[in-house]
Structure 1
Amino acid sequence: MKQYAGLDVSLKEISICVVDRDGKIIARGSTIADPEAIVDFFAEENISPELMVHESGPLSIWLQRGLERLGQPAICIDARKAHKALSARLNKSDASDAEGLAQLARTGWFTRVHLRSEAAEGMRALLGARDRLIRLRKDLEGHVRGVLKTFGIRMIAVNKGRLRQGFRDQLADAGDKDPVLATIAGAFIVIHETLCTAAEALDKELLSVARKSTLCRRLMTIPGIGPIVGLSFIAHVDDASRFRKAADVGAFLGLTPRRHQSGEVDYSGRISKCGDVQMRGLLFEAATSLIRLVRRFSPLKAWAVRLAARKGFKKAAVATARKMAVLMLTLWKNETEFCWKGTSTA
């Protein structure tokens, strides 16, 4: 008899429900959040589920890999889509959600989530750490600028040189004029230098990885694409064969417009903003760099400039970001480089 299991995962405990092919519940229970504990639960109940599903979440990657190592037929499904089905149930509880997931496993009405490789997750962790350090540095600089303005001190812009020494020099000068500011400067200068040093170390590490990656160097032949954007795209996509068509990556990154159609009403709205926010922001910055900073014209830049003249810069930048993502995936699949095709004019 075929059996299907649903796993509702929380940080400490996992609720389990098992149903047969007719949807009848044959086992319920809970266990600690550990793959081996799940296997022990099925062994005690003498159950061998044909399929078990759990929603995507903070522990889903670790749990999925652990179940796969133990030889269990587990699948991680899209939590956003599963929520639509689970929200139709009258009562909300962990046991109820586990039962709903088991029914989804039985009917097959779910979307499987791609789990990235460990190498891709490691790269995403490095990129995320770099992004967080830069945000912390900017927050600190903005706070200091705001505080000093109340004392009539307006800090001038600093160069993006090594360790941004100019910012710390201005803060030290302000501390010489006031004992309160001296206390602030003594604490913030050390923190700012530490953040800059750590961010610079990660930048060097990522640049070294980009130079060693043939794929990243190929993606960087596209004007506007640098090592950070290239590595982020590789880590985020992980496997180019996931997409049957290169154009599908635009929807995957949330760069395609939403559509609402009902009866005579049919319109397209703003972009869906699904997927990774950081990756979408990097592509927008790359598109901005292409339109405003890249001097050499190519068919891609000419198209983007003409679109900006017709639709405005923001809409053109979003459309260009989607086009660049599709182009990167195409170069990835075809193992080719960007072709400038001579000179182009706007």
Structure 2
Amino acid sequence: MKVTTIAIDLAKNVFQVLGMDEHAKSVFNKRLNRAQLAEFMLQQPACDVIFEACYSAHYWGRKFLAMGHNVKLIPAQHVTPFVRGNKNDKNDVLAIFEASFRPHIRFVPVKTEEQQEVLMLHRIRERLVKQKTACTNQVRGVFVDFGLSFPQGYSAFERAMWEIMSDEHQRPMIKLMANDFWDEYQTLNQRLDRINSLIKQIVKRDPNGRILLTIPGVGPIIASAFAASIGGGQAFNSPKELAVWLGLTPKQFASGNKSVNGKISKRGNCYLRKQLIHGARTVVSHASKKQDDLNMWINQLRGRKSICCTVVATAHRLARLIWILLQKQSPYEAQYGGYHGTC
């Protein structure tokens, strides 16, 4: 029997590999270690190779594509409903195979090494931002017991720290810890500046990144993150699908003739959604100063809705705009005269 589809349950060292023929009959179902998997797949005829889009999936995807296979990555949440019986590798790999044949399954494109490098920078940057915030919060918390209260904001924090470190009458232990906190704060700033500089350099070389930089509210961080995550938007058939994937569309509660929309679903990539909402907040705050169609729509919406609703709605619209411009491969140009007061 000729193998036409191979499903793989990925792990760190041990992999469950299921081979199926064109009639969905099992040809083999075996466990292989890391070295055996690569050698085994080299010996197989070109076929569909399916596994979850999870830990190390893109590495193996690139490796199998180079061998001539057709790689399909399935989001892990779409595989879970097909697991039958106990939780084990054999049942998991069978669920992966079954899920791949369901209609309307959207496969995840295999990312290049360049895309994963950019996303690696974003993950490290996100951790450093959290550490910087934690550092400043701890300083404020421990020093307030000594009557030292800091205003909010990094500039105010830096001024207050300098005052403590330069105060000759301050207690020695307080000055010692202030210097230690300051060294940590400066180190985090230097690492963040280096990563931000790398991201700016990368996004300027990326054609998709340069297109995204022309969109209002989209800077190097948002542009590089979207370009690395979705490429040219080829995984989505419409701008609505991208907005749904970002979790910017409302949850639906429907039964019979009754349908109610709730809050946004918050499904999908929370990092991209957060960054896009931050960008949208900037656009909304400056909308009253501009007269193009996008900003007139924002101003009209702001007159009826709260600031938070307006920001999320603007993020939704920016997400659709991102997909459209990536598909057209053209930069953003502000439109005038096409807005008629409808949302």
Number of aligned positions between the proteins: 338
- Residue matched to 1:40: 39
- Residue matched to 1:312: 306
Contact 1:175–1:183 at 8 Å: present in 2 too?
no
Q: 1:61 to 1:176 in 2, by over 3 A?
A: farther
- Residue matched to 2:321: 327
Aligned-pair CA distance for 1:175: 9.5
Aligned-pair CA distance for 1:83: 1.0
Aligned-pair CA distance for 1:12: 2.1
Contact 1:2–1:49 at 8 Å: present in 2 too?
no
Aligned-pair CA distance for 1:93: 0.8
- Residue matched to 2:50: 53
* Structure 2 unmatched ranges of 5 or more: none
* Structure 1 unmatched ranges of 5 or more: none
Q: 1:324 to 1:171 in 2, by over 3 A?
A: farther
1:28 maps onto 2:29 in alignment? yes
Secondary structure, counterpart of 2:304 in structure 1: helix
Contact 1:18–1:102 at 8 Å: present in 2 too?
no
Q: 1:343 to 1:176 in 2, by over 3 A?
A: farther
In the aligned structure 1, how far is the partner of 2:121 from the partner of 2:161?
26
Superposed, which structure 2 residues align to 1:192-341 within 5 Å?
A: 192-212=185-205, 215-294=208-287, 295-334=289-328, 335-341=330-336
Aligned-pair CA distance for 1:176: 6.1
Aligned-pair CA distance for 1:329: 2.6
- Residue matched to 1:129: 124
In the aligned structure 2, how far is the partner of 1:171 from the partner of 1:53?
59
- Pick from 86, 93, 108: which aligns with 1:91? 86
Secondary structure, counterpart of 1:240 in structure 2: coil
In the aligned structure 2, how far is the partner of 1:109 from the partner of 1:307?
34
Q: CA RMSD, aligned part only? A: 3.1
Percent of matched pairs sharing the same residue: 22
- Residue matched to 1:74: 71
Which range is displaced more, 47-56 or 7-16?
Answer: 47-56
Q: 1:284 to 1:14 in 2, by over 3 A?
A: same
Residue identity opposite 1:151 in structure 2 = F
- Pick from 106, 115, 119: which aligns with 2:114? 119
Q: 1:77 to 1:160 in 2, by over 3 A?
A: same
Secondary structure, counterpart of 1:242 in structure 2: coil
Secondary structure, counterpart of 2:8 in structure 1: strand
Secondary structure, counterpart of 1:112 in structure 2: coil
Aligned-pair CA distance for 1:74: 3.4
Residue identity opposite 2:14 in structure 1 = E
In the aligned structure 2, how far is the partner of 1:196 from the partner of 1:258?
39
In the aligned structure 2, how far is the partner of 1:95 from the partner of 1:148?
56
- Residue matched to 1:145: 140
Secondary structure, counterpart of 1:26 in structure 2: strand
Q: 1:37 to 1:106 in 2, by over 3 A?
A: farther
Could you list the per-position Cα deviations for residues 272-307 of structure 1 after superposition, in whole angstroms to 9, with x for gaps in the alignment?
222221111111111111111353332212211221
TM-score under structure 2 length normalisation: 0.85
Contact 2:208–2:231 at 8 Å: present in 1 too?
no
Residue identity opposite 2:37 in structure 1 = I
Secondary structure, counterpart of 1:337 in structure 2: coil
Secondary structure, counterpart of 1:222 in structure 2: coil
In the aligned structure 2, how far is the partner of 1:217 from the partner of 1:175?
51
In the aligned structure 2, how far is the partner of 1:218 from the partner of 1:153?
47
TM-score under structure 1 length normalisation: 0.84
Could you list the per-position Cα deviations for residues 57-112 of structure 1 after superposition, in whole angstroms to 9, with x for gaps in the alignment?
111111111222233343221211111112xx121111221233234457778542
Which range is displaced more, 284-293 or 176-185?
Answer: 176-185
Which range is displaced more, 94-103 or 135-144?
Answer: 94-103
- Residue matched to 1:100: 95
Could you list the per-position Cα deviations for residues 142-166 of structure 1 after superposition, in whole angstroms to 9, with x for gaps in the alignment?
11111111222102345549xx743
Q: 1:22 to 1:240 in 2, by over 3 A?
A: closer
- Residue matched to 1:7: 8
Q: 1:42 to 1:291 in 2, by over 3 A?
A: closer
- Pick from 166, 169, 172: which aligns with 2:165? 172
Aligned-pair CA distance for 1:226: 2.2
In the aligned structure 2, how far is the partner of 1:272 from the partner of 1:182?
48
In the aligned structure 2, how far is the partner of 1:118 from the partner of 1:151?
50
- Residue matched to 2:59: 62
Could you list the per-position Cα deviations for residues 175-194 of structure 1 after superposition, in whole angstroms to 9, with x for gaps in the alignment?
96234323422322211111
Residue identity opposite 1:147 in structure 2 = V
1:187 maps onto 2:180 in alignment? yes
Secondary structure, counterpart of 1:15 in structure 2: strand
Residue identity opposite 1:40 in structure 2 = E
Secondary structure, counterpart of 2:149 in structure 1: coil
